[in-house]
Structure 1
Amino acid sequence: MSATPPDRDDIEAELARVLASPDFEKNQGASRFLKFVVAETLDGRGDRLKAFTIATQALEREDTFDSQNNSAVRVQALRLRQLLQAWYEGPGANSPVRIEIKTGTYKPNFVRGAPLDAEAQCGASDLAARSDLPAPQEAAPPERRSFGRRFAGALGLAFSVFFVALTGLMTEPASPPGARSGNAPPLPSLRIERPSGDKPLGDLAQALELEFSAFDNVIVRKSNAEARSSVNAYALSLQPADKAYVAELLRLSDRTLVWAERFPLPDGADALARQARGLAQTLGDAYGVIDVDALRLLNDFDGMPRGFNCTLSAFTFLKNQSLDRLRVARECLEVAVGANARDDDARAMLAIVLVHDAFYAPPESDSRADLARAEKLAQEAFDLAPRRARSYFARFVAAYAAQRYDEAFVAARAALALNGNSTLFARAIGAAYILRGDVEAGMALLNPLIDATNDVSPASGAAALGHELRGERREAERLLARPGASNQALALLLQLSLCADAACARDRSADLRRNFPGIAADIGAALDRIGAAEPVKTRLQTSPLRDDQR
C-alpha cells in the first residue's frame, strides 16, 4: 500500500462503493454508523467520537442513551468491522482506498490500497455520482435528514470544493480561551506511546486514546510532529515489567518525568477497560495530573490568565468555590469570548461562571441579565460544538439556573454519557440531584468520588447533605469534619443547621459571612437560587437552636 494518505475525494468515492455493496445495503445500522464516523473524521472531529454521539446522531437513539449499560454501539461497531473485513477480503480487495476502524476506537483510518483498473475506476465514478444511495429505513428527524443531505451532496464536486475551503477551520478543535494571545499557553496535548510487539499494552494504548478523547481539556496527538508547540505537550509511555507495566507521564518541553506508577497487566477485556478509564481519569480529568502540572507552569505567563490558564482559573473556582478565583475566571473568559467568535470552550465556561456568579450574588442583586446571557452563551457553545461534553454541561447549568429541571438533567445525562470520567461533571450534577431531592441519583455520582479520595470539594458537602437526608447523621458528620469543609457553602449551611450550641452557630455564621456574603445575607433566598427543593430547603434552615441562640 502507498504511504501517501488518500485525499477526501478518494475517501468519499470508496465510501460510496462500500455503501452500495449488497452486504451494507442489507445492514442499514452499519451503513449509518459508517457514514457518520467517516463524515465526522473528514470534518476534523474524529477524535471526539464517542458511543453516545454515535448512538444519538447516527443510530437515532434518545438523549437518555446510557453507553455504560447499553452495548448497542459496541455491537454495531463489531458488526461494522466484520462487514468491512468481508468487503476488503472480497469485492473490495482491489479498492484504491481502505477504510479501517480498529478495535478500541470509533475513528476510521484511511489508507491507500491497490490501484483500480480502468473498468473499476469507471464504476467508481458512477457510484460517486449516484443520488440513490441507501437511506435509513425509518424517517429521520430534521437534524438527521440535514446530515443525510450534507453527506449526499458531499459526493458532488461543488460540495467537495466547499469542504476543501473549510479544511483549515475544521481540522483542529476550537481554540481554548485566548489561545492566540501572545502569552497564552495552549490546551495540553498528549501522545500515548505504543510499545512495539506487546499486544496487551498495545490494546491498552488504544483504549486509553478512546478514553482521553472524551476530555475537553486534553488533545490526543498521534505523534510529536502533530503538536505545533512543545508547551503543555506530554507523552504517556507504557513500559512492560514482570507481569506488570509502568506508566510514565513525561513533559516534553523539558523532558521532566511528571508522574509514574506501576500496574498489573490487565487480565481480560473488563480489566483493560477499568484500567484505561482509571488512568484517563487520574491524568486527564479537570485537576488531574496534567492540569496540576500545567498549574505549576502558570507563573511563566505574565498578566491576566489566558489560553489554558484561563480555563484552569475556572476549574480552580469550580473545585474550591473561591470567589476571588470566580472573578478572575470571569474576567479572562470575557476577553476570550470577545476575541474569538468560534471559541466554544470559552462560551461554555463563561456560561457556567455567570450562573455561579448569580448563585453567590447578594439577594438585592438583579442577576436576570447574567442568567439570560449564560443561556445564550451555552446555546452558542452547543451550536459551535454540539458533540462536546462541556457544551452539554453548560446547557445543564444554564437550564438548571432557569429552573427548567427536566431539561437540565437531560443535558446532564448527555454530558456524563460523553465523558463519564469527569469528576467536575459528577460533582456538580450529583449535588444538583441532591438539592432537588433525588438523593439516590446524587449519591450514585458522589460516592465514588468521596470513597476514592479525601475529597474536600463541593462533592463532600453535597454528599454530607445526602447522608443527612437519608438519616445517616454519623456519615454526614464524618464528611463535614474533613479539613476544608468550612470553605464550602453547602457544607457550611449543613454545619450551621446541625449546631447544638450558640458558639458553634456563631462560628459557622461568621465563616458563611466571610466566605459567602451573598448567601449569608439571606439563606432562604440563596437556597431558592441554587434550586433547593422545599424538603431540602426546610432541612437546611432547621436547627436545634432557637433563633435567639443563633
Structure 2
Amino acid sequence: MKTGTGKTLRHEDVYEELERILTSSAFEASERKRQFLRFVVEETLSGRADRIKAYTIATSVFGRGDDFDPMQDSIVRIEAAGLRRAIERFYLTQGVAGGVCISIPKGGYTPQFGTSSDGAQAAETAKKVKAATSLHQLGPRIMVENFDVGSDLDNLAGIGKTMTCQVISALTRFTGIFVYGFDTTERRDATGRLDRRPDSLAIDYHLLGTVTISRKSLHVDILMKRAKDGCFVWADSVTRTLNDDCDPSRIVSLCREIAGHVARIVALRDGVIDSQARECAGDAPRHFAGYQKLLDFQDYWRTLEPSRFEPLLRDLELTVAADPQFADAFACLSMLYSNAARYGYDVSELCDDPLEHAMELAKSAIHLAPQSSRAHHARAIAEWFLGRVDASVATMQIARSLNPNDPELLAESGFRSAMRMDWKTAVPLIEEAYLRNPLQTGQYRMGLFFYHFAEGRYDTAFQITEDIQAPGVAVVHLAAAAALARAGRKGEARARLGEVERLSPSFQQKLRVDLAFRQIHPDLIDAIAAAIEDTNPSWSPSARGADLRRVQGGGATR
C-alpha cells in the first residue's frame, strides 16, 4: 500500500505499529477502544475495509445483538471519537520521525496508514495546533473597557488602569468566557487616532466603570451592557474604607478584592452571564452554543436528579465527538462518569470502567486547556473516588489557584476536608462558599452535615440534609435517617430508610462499603452505620475492617 507521499508500506509495518500502540503505556485508552482499533486495522489489512460500518463494529466488538440500530444507539460514534483522541495524544508524545502512523479520519471508521512525514498529516496537525489556540472562543465575549477615574489624589491617577487589569485577570480565570481588555479597546488606526470600534470581534457584552478614590475610601461603580442593543443588564457599586491609608499595596489589594467580587457576580455559575445565556437560548450568537451545553450540565449538577443523568451523558458524548477542542465539555463529561460510579449508574454500554474513563476525559480537558480550573476539578473528583486522596487534594489546590474566585471550588475543597473530619479546614471553606453563592448546588452542604452530626447536633444535621434539596439521591436520605434516629425521631428515620431502599434497593447490603468508597472517615462511617442499625437492625452491614481499608486505600468500582 502507498502513503500520501507515495512511500510504500508493508502490512508487516502496519501490524508492528499497531502492536506498538496497543502495548504502550502512553496509549491512554480502555480495553474496548483497543479492541476497536485492532478490529478496524485487521479488517482493513485483510481487504475487508468495505465491511467496516457502525453495525459491524457494534456486533463484532461491542457485543451488540443483531437488532442493533446505529440511529438509536450512538455507542460506535462515541467510542470512535474517544479512540481518535487517544491516538492523537499517543502520536504527540510517542511519534517517530518517518515512522508509520495509524489514524481514523472523522466521518468514518476505516483507518488510514501513512508516515509522520506525509504532507496531509502535517497539515492536519497544524490545523489542530491552530484550533488549540482558540479553545475558549465557545462562549460569551466580554469587552472590559478602561475604568474611568475620579480622584483628588494626583499620585493615584493610574488607579483606573489598575482596576481594569484586575478585573480582566479575575474574569479570565473563568475559562468558559472570552475576555478582551484595554489593549484591544485602545487599538489605534494607521493615522494614530484611537479606534474604539472592534466590530469584527463580535463582542456580546461591555463591562465599564468608574473608580473614585479619596483619602477615606475607594469606591467603584460598575455597569454591564449588551452589545447588540445597548441594554444595561447589570450594575453594582462597591465601597471600601481606606482610613487615611493610601499605601499603594493596600489599594492594589482592594482593587483585587473588588475585581474578584465583580468576576464572581458576572461569571460564576448562575451569575449574570449564565442568566443572559438562558434568556437568549435559541436566539444566541453562534459561539454561545457550546456555553449552553455547560448550562445543561449545571442544571443537572445543582439537583443531581437521576432522570437527567443519562440524557445529559449522551448529549455531552456527542458534543465532544462533534467538537474535540471543547475542554469544558470534556471536564463536565468526566464529572458525569465519576457520578456514575458514585451513584451506581450502569454505563457499561459506553465504557468498561467509569472512573478510569472519567480520568481519561479529565486528562483530555487539561491537555486542551491547562489553565482551566474546571478541568482540574474534574480530575480531582475522579482521583478521589479512585482512592487517590492525596493526589485529589493536590489537584484541587491547583484548581483553586487557577481560579480563587470560584465558590464551587471552595465548597468542593471544604466538602472533601469534612469527609476526612478536618473541621478546621472544612467548615470555613463551605460557609464562605455559600456566602459567595447561596444558589450553587446544595450537595456540598453534606460536609456541614458530617460536622454537626459528629458534634452531636442532630437536629441541625437533619435540617442541612433538607437544605441540600436532592430528593433523588439515596445517600442524602440515608444521612437524614441517621440524624433523625439520633434525634429520637425513629418513625421519620424509618421512612427515610424506605426512600433509600426505593431509590437504591441494594444499598442495604453495601452500606459500609459504599460509604468507604466515598473516602469518608472510618469514625464517621461507624457513627452513621450505628445510627442506621439502631433504627432498623436488618441494615446491619456486611463489610467491616479489612474490606473497608481495601476500599478506602485503593478505590472501588460499583
Instruction: Give the corresponding residue for 2:536.
Output: 547
1:280 to partner: Cα distance: 1.1
CA distance in 2, matches of 1:465, 1:357: 23
Relative to structure 1, is the Cα distance of residues 519 and 285 closer, same or farther in structure 2, using a 3 angstrom cutoff?
A: farther
Residue 284 in 1 paired to residue 267 in 2? Answer: yes
Is the CA contact 2:458–2:483 (under 8 Å) kept in the aligned structure 1?
no
Relative to structure 1, is the Cα distance of residues 229 and 320 closer, same or farther in structure 2, using a 3 angstrom cutoff?
A: farther
Instruction: Give the corresponding residue for 1:13.
Output: none
Instruction: Give the corresponding residue for 2:322.
Output: 339
1:216 to partner: Cα distance: 1.8
Deviations 1:131-162 (A, max 9, x none): xxxxxxxxxxxxxxxxxxxxxxxxxxxxxx99
1:265 to partner: Cα distance: 5.7
Q: Give unpaired runs (5+ residues) of structure 1.
A: 1-160, 176-185
Instruction: Give the corresponding residue for 1:225.
Output: 198
Deviations 1:29-62 (A, max 9, x none): xxxxxxxxxxxxxxxxxxxxxxxxxxxxxxxxxx
Instruction: Give the corresponding residue for 1:191.
Output: 143
Residue 498 in 1 paired to residue 471 in 2? Answer: no
Instruction: Give the corresponding residue for 1:169.
Output: 131
1:388 to partner: Cα distance: 2.4
Relative to structure 1, is the Cα distance of residues 166 and 479 closer, same or farther in structure 2, using a 3 angstrom cutoff?
A: closer
Q: Give unpaired runs (5+ residues) of structure 2.
A: 1-122, 151-157, 186-196, 243-250, 540-558
What letter is aligned with 1:440? K
1:145-544 correspondence runs (5 A): 168-174=130-136, 186-198=138-150, 199-222=158-181, 223=185, 225=198, 228-229=201-202, 233-239=204-210, 244-264=219-239, 267=242, 268-298=251-281, 300=283, 307-361=290-344, 369-452=353-436, 454=438, 457-473=442-458, 475-477=460-462, 479-480=464-465, 482=467, 484=469, 491-499=476-484, 500-512=488-500, 522-543=510-531
Is the CA contact 2:494–2:536 (under 8 Å) kept in the aligned structure 1?
no
CA distance in 2, matches of 1:521, 1:549: 9
What letter is aligned with 2:238? F
Greater alpha carbon shift after TM alignment, 435-444 vs 518-527:
518-527
Is the CA contact 1:361–1:518 (under 8 Å) kept in the aligned structure 2?
no
Relative to structure 1, is the Cα distance of residues 529 and 483 closer, same or farther in structure 2, using a 3 angstrom cutoff?
A: closer
1:167 to partner: Cα distance: 7.4
Relative to structure 1, is the Cα distance of residues 498 and 364 closer, same or farther in structure 2, using a 3 angstrom cutoff?
A: farther
TM-score by length of 2: 0.59
Relative to structure 1, is the Cα distance of residues 348 and 520 closer, same or farther in structure 2, using a 3 angstrom cutoff?
A: farther
Is the CA contact 1:502–1:549 (under 8 Å) kept in the aligned structure 2?
no
Instruction: Give the corresponding residue for 1:117.
Output: none
1:514 to partner: Cα distance: 6.1
Is the CA contact 1:464–1:491 (under 8 Å) kept in the aligned structure 2?
no
CA distance in 2, matches of 1:269, 1:460: 34
1:253 to partner: Cα distance: 3.4
Relative to structure 1, is the Cα distance of residues 207 and 188 closer, same or farther in structure 2, using a 3 angstrom cutoff?
A: same
* Helix, strand or coil at the partner of 1:216: coil
CA distance in 1, matches of 2:538, 2:510: 18
Greater alpha carbon shift after TM alignment, 412-421 vs 313-322:
313-322
Deviations 1:174-215 (A, max 9, x none): 56xxxxxxxxxx412222222345543432221111111111
Over aligned residue pairs, what C-alpha RMSD do you find?
3.7
1:412 to partner: Cα distance: 1.0
* Helix, strand or coil at the partner of 1:327: helix
CA distance in 2, matches of 1:168, 1:364: 34
1:252 to partner: Cα distance: 2.5
Relative to structure 1, is the Cα distance of residues 388 and 546 closer, same or farther in structure 2, using a 3 angstrom cutoff?
A: closer
Relative to structure 1, is the Cα distance of residues 511 and 355 closer, same or farther in structure 2, using a 3 angstrom cutoff?
A: same
Relative to structure 1, is the Cα distance of residues 386 and 451 closer, same or farther in structure 2, using a 3 angstrom cutoff?
A: closer
1:486 to partner: Cα distance: 5.1
Give 1 or 2 for the bigger CA radius of gyration. 2
* Helix, strand or coil at the partner of 2:234: strand
What letter is aligned with 2:483? L
Kindly, what percent of the aligned residue pairs are identical? 18
What letter is aligned with 1:535? D
* Helix, strand or coil at the partner of 1:246: strand
Is the CA contact 1:362–1:517 (under 8 Å) kept in the aligned structure 2?
no
CA distance in 1, matches of 2:147, 2:475: 47
TM-score by length of 1: 0.60
What letter is aligned with 2:166? A
1:410 to partner: Cα distance: 1.0
What letter is aligned with 1:311? L
Relative to structure 1, is the Cα distance of residues 547 and 514 closer, same or farther in structure 2, using a 3 angstrom cutoff?
A: closer
* Helix, strand or coil at the partner of 2:261: helix
Instruction: Give the corresponding residue for 1:5.
Output: none
Paired residues, number: 376
Is the CA contact 2:338–2:385 (under 8 Å) kept in the aligned structure 1?
yes
Is the CA contact 1:392–1:415 (under 8 Å) kept in the aligned structure 2?
yes
* Helix, strand or coil at the partner of 2:394: helix
Greater alpha carbon shift after TM alignment, 253-262 vs 211-220:
253-262
- Structure possessing the higher relative contact order (Cα contacts under 8 Å, 6 or more residues apart): 1
1:352 to partner: Cα distance: 1.2
Instruction: Give the corresponding residue for 1:52.
Output: none
Relative to structure 1, is the Cα distance of residues 261 and 548 closer, same or farther in structure 2, using a 3 angstrom cutoff?
A: same
